[in-house]
Structure 1
Amino acid sequence: MPEWLALYYREPLELTHGEGRHVWDSGGRRYLDFFGGILTTMTAHALPEVTKAVAEQAGRILHTSTLYLDRHMVELAERIASLSGIPDARVFFTTSGTEANDAALLLATTHRRSNQVLAMRNSYHGRSFSSIGVTGNTSWSPTSLSPLQTLYVHGGVRGRGPYAALSDAEFIAACVADLEDVLGQAHGNVAALIAEPVQGVGGFTSPPDGLYAAFRDVLARHGILWISDEVQTGWGRTGDHFWGWQAHGASGPPDLLTFAKGIGNGMSIGGVVARAEVMNCLSANSISTFGGSPVTMAAGLANLTYLLEHDLQGNARRVGGLLLERLRAVTAGLPAVREVRGRGLMAGIELVRPDGSPAPDAASLALELTRERGLLIGKGGREANVLRIAPPMSLTVAEAEEGAAILAEALGEVQRALNDSADDQKTTEPGGPAGAEGGDRP
């Protein structure tokens, strides 16, 4: 394995099986799963409806490729096209969110005859050569080489940066002005803006509602396409809306929408939805060997059906709202917690040192402490100082309370560790007690 293939925890964890919102490791210990394999186990572990669909399809045929018709792929495409809100929609299936964003970039740049792309600062869109080229989070962008010319704009992070002190309305106006200014520096056509409604790897940050609607007005004047990266925000996880872009009250849906992760509930499904004019712009032949696999399509169709029939979006709104309230309550007296933010079952807890600077070591410690107490969470943010919490969308109220209690204990210990570290630093500073001649501690 490559050195850059990261593992969580000082002692890496092997997960062997799961059920509902819980997983077990190779030693037989059970954990409450608040990360779902990076927001991928969307409904539940070992969901009977999905496992049955996978087993039945695997017993018939495992693979055909897109050269042949597949009933499940057609049915899933029809449902996603209808749910997307995009008129005259076409759906192309891939195997991952990275590949979906790569396909969306190919479509947009071909349709607009331009390799110039707008992206948000602090963004993440995948690990392919083109998606790295539009990733604004340097921790996840290992090269500056790219087939695209990317122009980065403000707006993805509300609480930091030059516009943080502004009101929401002023923030949006400033970001729109920045967008207009950036477009003034472009060379002719710009192909598209690609944006996550909530930045996932960036630490679950998001702009004020309405920003992307205001951006869309500017883009429309220039004929620029809007790609909404819904890999982490889709399928109702944010609670109030089925897609993240809907929070912005835009005059219409995006031109392209990408999805992945949760729709497969662990199976490798991604895809892009676009209006026919854009989707059909490619003049060369293309297929997908593994995109739209019969087994993954059967799983996706069963998973989406379960999600809709059991109103998991409503559950994300109700239980997610309760979880966010509990997290804000239990962290209210902790200076180490700069902010608890999120929507639905997407919660981020940003950790800082006593001087207000990012505290990635504290986030790593929190991961270890929650694991010791039987809870699995994630980590993100540009400085890796944000705890990422995104349980399966069938989370119960009791499980939300349990997870919040564990986080409260762990973060209390993190706060004590930060306090001790600050005290130790004071005692070793020049002129402090360690260097003073018998002076009392100030």
Structure 2
Amino acid sequence: MSEPVASPGRINLGIISIVCFNFASYVCNGLPLAVLPDYVLNGLHLSPVFAGLVIGLQYMATLLSRPLAGQLADRWGSKRVVRYGLGGLVLSGVLTSLAIFLQAPLWLRTGLLLAGRVVLGMSSALVSTPCCTWAIGLYGTQNTARVMSWNGIAAYGGTALGAPLGVLVRDGTHLIGIGLCTALLGLLALLFASTRPAAPILSGIRQPFHHVFLAVMPNGIAMACSSVGFGGLTAFIALCFNSLGWDNAAYCLSSFGGAFIVVRLVSPNLLPRFGDYQVVAVCLLIQSLGLLLIWQAPSPELAMLGAGLTGIGVSWSTRVWAGNPRTHTPCQPRRGAQCPVAVLRSGGGPGRAFDGLDRLGLGVCRGVSRLGAVEHRRFPAGHAPSPGGPPFQRLKALHPINRVS
């Protein structure tokens, strides 16, 4: 007697119950985005370069931890790895709270803060992709596209919620609330993860990381470029709003995430109907228009509209670049029906390689943003350099509200 087939609604609920852990991780990532640089500059009285180090260190830790996350998922199973990652969120929150609460020497406070950022980055790596392989292992490779779509909604939705939530928490409880919220959210997610069933650990022939990395490189580079919109937004938007005297930069991330989620939900059949690369071409155009609107926006409301357009542009482009190379990735499984899961779970799987290229695009944007922050601190408002000065200032002079009519 054959087993009953689960309905699509039931499958979606099951997938959401797994990728919600990635949502919790991205909320924790978004909480300090709009508030931590200000604390480093004005609370610890350190340089903009160090503020950039505090933000960027997390993403470097995430990038370097991806292969390890894949190897651990192969060996121990995705559920166990995700639980370790959620436990890391708790530890990161505790370290961040101690760095802010303790009346200790500056070197100890900064050390605790940096340690918390590194742990947060490693935890993100242990939660993100293993969530996908966990859901795929439970609900089958035929639902891979569904899992990836929900995982993208969880990730960008978490950032969209986390950034403004971080501002509200800081205003209500001071910055120590950021660390406490991170620890509490990680603990709640960890308790819920303990109730979810584990996916079977599948055996298969592992592909070397560099082989798979080269196999996905062409589309991977395109995916890194497609991530520039999101990376540029998270890296530059607070600096842009501050330089123009605007408030509520965090709501640009909410606009981005909201537009991303709405487009994903209302157009599930967009790729089969119009074709992958045709959709990507339109998405990249929309993303470019959104970024141009942010640059030239004469008001914060229009900048938020530009962020929403950027979210629409990112919505389907990353899904296409991440999905298509799976069919071109070498795979020699012991059980053919489980081949995609075996490859995705390997330390050298396309999911890990693509996530690394995606993080590379985000990391470049955040690194460049620190250069802009240095120039902004060297030449504050009212003390702009001559026209031959830094490129950042010359670009700022092109903004509509800075032009002389």
Fold match, TM over 0.5?
A: no
From the two aligned structures, give the one with the greater helix fraction.
2
Q: More strand per residue: 1 or 2?
A: 1
TM-score normalised over the length of structure 1? 0.27
Q: Which of 1 and 2 has higher RCO (CA within 8 Å, sep 6+)?
A: 2
Larger radius of gyration: 1
